[in-house]
Amino acid sequence: MKLPNPMLAPNGDPNLKTLRYPIFASHKLDGVRFLIFDGNMYSRNMEPLHGAVTKHFQPVMDWAETSGVCLDGEIWRPDTPFNKIVSMMAKPEICPCLWLYVFDILPRDEWYSARPLTPFQDRCRLYTEWCTKYDPDKRFVKPVVQYECEDADAVLALQQEAKRDGLEGLMLKCPNSVYLHSRATARQNVFWKLKFWDTINGVIVDFKQKRQLTDEARENNTEKSLLGRTKRGHRQGDRETVDDIGSVEIEITEGQIFPKGTRFFAMWSKEAPEIRAAMNWDNRAEFLGKHVEIEYQSHGSKDKPRLPRIVRMRRDLD
């Protein structure tokens, strides 16, 4: 059976001046998305989570089933990086200091409805009351705190506070918005993620050739996920190399927390399509040694930039 999609924020940062105020803001947690409904626990892609995870959080699944609600949130632990959380979740015994941070809730009938009606301000109150009722000692679940911001200055102040605390960013949601079983769009202007980005300079030193599904694998790959999407092929022989650039290898020449000479592969920013269009496998030699500016997520970066992407050529440095 195809299941409803979880609600996702649009890609890209919002223009704070054009948001609808007041708006609810919460800290963006760098954890693993979960959804609980009908006695099961799923990932963001609606794949069942690891057996040890569901066993550890079985009480929460039972509470949700008893009360007839669906929960949406993050498996997270303060001061623990994302990759460490993923590693902890893969162990036979789940660390008891991993919690479920609930940031949304829906009655079961609304979860399966194509047009849920309950506004977020009511859902926020409901999930806060639900967490307090079923887990008053906070053994398993904690409600995500929502801050009401009256204008852009209030959002910016909360953003700076989150950055000082080492958090990933903010999630912004209109109080009267309903749950969307899809990725929200910029035009809808109801749900946003606001992340922290830093920039560094680097030089192009190599390229990785692109690999894609073969025609045969694409035709035979009919396995569907619970969301109804075709699963990607990972079998040996399903992919072939094509004459195009898959990613660009960068060496840092000027950075902040990374030493010069650090190498990593980067993609292209959606804001700089002309760079991607100009760079191909046949003319790649023309770009070797060229300087570029890289944008990356400052939160969660350690040895190398996280989610790096090329935003512009630095011809002034060539």
Q: Can you give 158-223 as a three-state secondary structure string?
A: HHHHHHHCCCCEEEEECCCCCCCCCECCCCCCCEEEEECEEEEEEEEEEEEEEEEECHHHHHHCCC
* 83 in the same domain as 175: yes
pLDDT value, residue 2:
67
The reported pLDDT for the residue numbered 257 is 73
Q: How many domains does the chain have?
A: 2
Where among 165, 195, 225 does a domain terminate?
195
What lies within 8 Å, CB to CB, of 232 at 6+ separation is: 213, 221
| Whether pLDDT at 116 is above 90 | yes
85 and 127 housed in the same domain: yes
Whether residue 318 contacts residue 290, with contact meaning beta carbons closer than 8 Å, is answered with yes
Q: Round to whole Å and give the CA distance between 122 and 120.
A: 5
pLDDT at 311 over 70: yes
In a domain, 64, yes or no: yes
Average pLDDT over residues 180-197: 92
For residue 101, give Cα distances in angstroms to 90, 123, 135, 142: 19, 14, 12, 5
Check whether residue 127 and residue 238 sit in a common domain: no
Q: Is the pLDDT of residue 76 over 90?
A: yes
Q: Is residue 92 part of a domain?
A: yes
CATH number at residue 162: 3.30.470.30
Q: What is the mean pLDDT of the segment spanning 86-108?
A: 91
187 & 76 share domain: yes
Q: Of residues 150 and 166, which shows the higher confidence score? A: 150
Distance between CA atoms of residues 86 and 259, nearest Å: 27
What digits encode the pLDDT tens for the residues 166-182? 888 999 999 999 999 99
Q: Where a domain ends, among 143, 163, 195?
A: 195
Q: Supply the range of the domain harboring residue 72.
A: 16-195
pLDDT digits (tens, 9 = 90+) for 32-74: 999 999 999 999 988 999 889 999 999 999 999 999 999 999 9
- Quick check: 142 and 7 in contact, CB under 8 A? no
Residue at 125 is within a domain? yes
**φ/ψ of residue 146, rounded to 5:** -105, 130
* 6 in a structural domain: no
Look up the pTM and report it.
0.78
Q: What is the CATH number of the domain that holds 259?
A: 2.40.50.140
Single residue among 195, 228, 248 that ends a domain in this structure: 195
